[in-house]
Amino acid sequence: MSVPSVKKRLSTANITALKGVRPIVSLTAYTTPVARLLDPHCDLLLVGDSLGMVLYGMDTTVGVTMEMMIAHGQAVMRTAKNACVIVDLPFGAYQESKEQAFRSAARIMKETGCDGIKLEGGEEMAETVAFLTRRGIPVFGHIGLMPQLVNAIGGYRSVGRSDTEADKIRRDATAIGEAGAFAIVVEGTVEPLAREITAALSIPTIGIGASPACDGQILVSDDMLGLFNDFKPRFVKHFAELAPLISQAAEDYANEVKARTFPGPEHTFQVKRQPV
């Protein structure tokens, strides 16, 4: 009697192997219900520290904690059947030393079961990336605009416009690639530079506000779904407009509750008559 095979989720090695084959589809996911809807369509789901802003109303990602990342990583892993799942290391959990980074990454992988971690940084983090990858921690790099450094760079803006800045981003990409990352997010980087970096690296680049020539693309799922109509950066496309639908549904619900038309008989439990 043959045992039916169970389809395995994509691994970090599978993601690397997609470079030059086809574009890599990535989105953020923070909760079980949303991850269940996104998973069949994505190669990679990122439990990003953007959840601090998207779910918790923070102004930046700096206040996100390890406990928050682990809780949401567990939520996504409960339903992911197809996509490779990566969890962000939050600010302050890895910058102090490569040993601190290993302890944080190992904890996240043990407690969530995810496939790897993502950290921000270029040349200055290359030694840490190499330390982690040599010890069995798959690393998703992140260069260009780095949101965890928002306080140091003075806000969110596109990067790579000056020769000095472009040269630094090139060095960052090379350093993280050579350190053993399986892929790199390129964020908020001017298009020609992102295109150049993609051609130069042997590992995939995943663009967000970068170039269509990147090996893949990622967006914050809530942005892509049109849940924040008051926030729409240039690089975001709304593939749906859910905000007005949710608002209208809430209004309709409120009106029916006030009018006592909901719940109706079909939504209530009645006492069953006993046979005589």
Please state the residue numbers annotated as binding site.
49-50, 88, 118, 120
At residue 87, the 3 state secondary structure works out as: strand
Residues in the annotated binding site for Mg(2+): 49, 88, 120
- Determine the Cα–Cα distance for residues 155 and 115; give it in Å rounded to an integer: 31
At residue 181, the 3 state secondary structure works out as: coil
Annotated catalytic residue within 187, 191, 256, 266: 187
Q: How far is CA 232 from CA 25, 222, 228, 238, in A?
A: 20, 11, 7, 8
Contact between residue 99 and residue 137 where contact means Cβ atoms under 8 Å apart: no
- Determine the Cα–Cα distance for residues 39 and 273; give it in Å rounded to an integer: 46
DSSP class of residue 187? E
Among the listed residues 234, 182, 179, 228, the one whose alpha carbon sits nearest the alpha carbon of residue 206: 182
Could you identify the residue written with the tokens 């780095």?
146
DSSP class of residue 275? P
- Determine the Cα–Cα distance for residues 249 and 130; give it in Å rounded to an integer: 50
- Determine the Cα–Cα distance for residues 57 and 45; give it in Å rounded to an integer: 21
The question of whether 187 is a catalytic residue gets the answer yes
Among the listed residues 94, 85, 107, the one whose alpha carbon sits nearest the alpha carbon of residue 28: 85
Amino acid at 180: G
Residues in the annotated binding site for 3-methyl-2-oxobutanoate: 49-50, 88, 118
Burial class of 174 by CB neighbour count within 10 A (0 to 12, 13 to 18, 19+): middle
The catalytic site residues sit at 187
